[in-house]
Amino acid sequence: MSIHTSLCDLFGIEHPVLLAPMAGVSGGALAAAVSRAGGLGLVGGGYGDADWLAREFDAAGDARIGVGLITWSLARQPHLLDLVLERAPAALMLSFGDFQPFLPKVRDGQTKLIVQVQTLDQARKAIEAGVDAIVAQGTEAGGHGGARATFPFVPAVVDIAKEIPVIAAGGIADGRGLAAALALGASGVLCGTRFFASDESLASDNAKQAALNGGGDDTERSSVFDLARGLDWPADWNIRTMRNSFTRRWSEDVGGLRQNIAEEQARFEAARAVDDTDIAPVIVGEAADLIQVIEPAQETLHGMIVQAEHHLRRISRLVEPNGKEQRR
């Protein structure tokens, strides 16, 4: 048995699993590891740094990878699109903002366009534009995101997406999540948090350890780290991270943080410089519960496929050929 969906055909991949383009965390080595294991790795271009992107594309060697960029940030430096498309990535994933201005240029080449959405309205716009695939991201996700939960959001997007493959994201970190996503009608999954804690991830060892030790209950969405980093994110999105002393101090008093911003930014930058995760963010989602070990990404991906196959077989045994459900 193998799990083959329209997403496998779209990208010419063996397994319907994508590595999320985690800004500064999904580098070339991690993206290549996921692609070589049969999924598709997306380098996390984030806010867009030409030197970083060039280095990480090079680090991926001859592996077939894709790349993700933050749309509102790309709008401020649109020349980065040419730089990225010159590398002929298998896919470009755009998230958080209006992707329409970039559509014609992407369409000119071989690169497939994936758009990540957090609301049905955003999903409708992506469908009308005829993008190649849509990531329906639930609020459980690590990093920036919106308010909808993965479980009801994914099938709602599937219902309107027609032939466009829908990729589920947010809280999916093992084969059970993959099997559930397929049951919801998704054609595959996009995983960030689980690969954050992989050998090849560019997250620091401290941050990986914090992700391993912590769990979903220890995460929350807030805007405090964006303020501390001086990033003027649109109000539609905030960021899920582990709680730490910085969120405990400020997430209920964002006004106070704004008033003390110069001092707090200095404290924050000092903590980042020494990788103090009690102040600097550990950017993971609710799926932190499911991180049991830090291992090579290939092992995670293979484990996920084997477990998903097991659960899909188990579930299909619950239904008798005549359609009657068997008691467990």
Ligand X SMILES: Cc1cc2nc3c(=O)[nH]c(=O)nc-3n(C[C@H](O)[C@H](O)[C@H](O)COP(=O)(O)O)c2cc1C
Cβ proximity to ligand X: between 13 and 284 the closer is 284
d(CA 45, CA 23): 6
Report the alpha-carbon distance of residue 45 to residue 67 in Å, rounded: 6
State the nearest-atom distance from the C-beta of 245 to ligand X, in Å: 20
**Torsion angles phi and psi, residue 93, rounded to 5:** -105, 125
Question: Which CB, 190 or 301, lies closer to ligand X?
Answer: 190
- Least distance between ligand X and beta carbon 215 (Å): 13
In the complex with ligand X, the residue whose CB is nearer, 49 or 260, is 49
Residue 25 per-residue DSSP state:
T
Residue showing the smallest CB distance to ligand X in the complex: 192
Give the nearer residue to ligand X in terms of CB position, either 71 or 251.
71
Residue 169 near residue 159, CB atoms below 8 Å:
no
What does the binding site for ligand X look like in residue numbers (CB under 6 A)?
A: 20-23, 25, 44, 46, 68, 70, 95, 116, 137, 140-143, 169-172, 190-193, 196, 283-285, 287
Contact 160, 120 (CB under 8 A): yes
As measured in angstroms, the least distance from the Cβ of 259 to ligand X is: 28
Q: How far apart are CA 222 and CA 163, in angstroms?
A: 35
Cβ 99 to ligand X shortest distance, Å: 11
Count Cβ atoms within 10 A of the Cβ of residue 128 and give its class: 0-12 exposed, 13-18 middle, 19 or more buried: exposed
Distance CA 214, CA 206 (A): 12
**What is the nearest approach in angstroms of ligand X to the Cβ of residue 1?**
24
C-beta closer to ligand X: residue 259 or 292: 292
Residue 157 or 324: the one with the smaller Cβ distance to ligand X is 157
**Which amino acid is present at 130?**
G
CB of 25 to ligand X, least distance (A): 5
Q: Which residues pair with residue 319 across a beta bridge? A: 325
Amino acid residing at 318:
L
